[in-house]
Amino acid sequence: MKALIIGAAGMVGRKLTERLANQPVLAGQALDALMLVDVIEPQAPQGADFAVETRALDLSEPEAATALLEERPDIIFHLAAIVSGESEADFEKGYRINLDGTRYLFEAIRQAHGADGYCPRVVFTSSIAVFGTPFPEAIGDEFLNAPLTSYGTQKAIGELLLADYSRRGFFDGIGIRLPTIAIRPGAPNKAASGFFSSIIREPLAGQEAILPVEESVRHWFASPRAAVGFLLHAAEVDTTSLGARRSLSMPGVSVTIAEEIEALRRAAGDKAVALIRREPDPTIMKIVAGWPQNFDPQRAIGLGFTADRDFDEIVRIHIEDELS
């Protein structure tokens, strides 16, 4: 079994790589070789008992994807993207990376399929940003994709391409719409959603955090550990039951900012909560107001995808994985 992770230097890519290094089984088969790719060369995992290749490569370059397919990986995890805030701030960069890079990858696979019948499993990370207001109380599997951001639009187009290329038999694709992943370790990124993690991460480390929105804001979350579980399950799930609709909203936890803060209080006490400073940001408030708040992802649950039980578990996972 050969696997390719595009976007392997990102947080979820690193977590996926670590899991595979510790448990080298993918889709029920032993992992023999792993290629890790990103615009910055990813680090190879320590202690892996399979072949690992790392490359620095920009998927938005027209010929880059063709080079990645020379070894014919059986499973391709397409995680590469720039985040919501950066996509909104830099229109051209967002479409070049999030859309053009995806199209180049899918086209390279199509060309390889025409040459020798190559047909890999492609796991595409989409986003709940493909949905736009007005929302029902909980977004079900039949809700219309109508994004209101550039990032959401780019991901929605990627979903359509994934479905069409799969329909034509060029590859076996599955798209997973990730909830907002929290609590993200490390330094903040340019995602508009970054504060969801920082108001927990920084106080747990004894540092001040800025809260730019009201505590009544509700959102949909999953932990990094759950995100890796989604990817691994997507690599092995029977896609024949998906039919033409190849993308699924993943399970998660719907909580308000106030409920996040109470989970922090239960984990670290009032002293940690006191490190959160309210500083309203109208730009972020406007962006967040157009985001989904709750889901009813019955298709994914029926296929065996599972997430965290509650936000307390998400906090515990961060403490175990990052602070222990």
For residue 291, the model assigns a pLDDT of: 86
**For the segment 64-81, what is each residue's pLDDT rounded down to a tens digit?**
999 999 999 999 999 999
Tell which wins on pLDDT, 89 or 248.
248
Span 17-34, mean pLDDT?
Answer: 96
Span 28-54, mean pLDDT?
Answer: 95
The domain limits of the chain are 2-179+223-252+292-309
For residue 290, the model assigns a pLDDT of: 83
Of all residues in the chain, the percent with pLDDT exceeding 90 is 89
Tell which wins on pLDDT, 283 or 254.
254
Calculate the alpha carbon distances from 320 to 6, 206, 215, 323 in Å.
27, 17, 26, 6
Q: 140, 141, 40, 130: which is closest to 84 by C-alpha? A: 130
pLDDT at 307 over 90: yes
Report the alpha-carbon distance of residue 162 to residue 234 in Å, rounded: 14
Q: Where does 2-179+223-252+292-309 sit in CATH, by number?
A: 3.40.50.720
For residue 110, the model assigns a pLDDT of: 98
For residue 190, the model assigns a pLDDT of: 65
Task: Check: CB of residue 59 under 8 Å from CB of residue 108.
Answer: no
- The two three-digit tokens of residue 241, written as one number: 């039951």
Span 205-217, mean pLDDT?
Answer: 96
Q: Which residues are catalytic?
A: 151
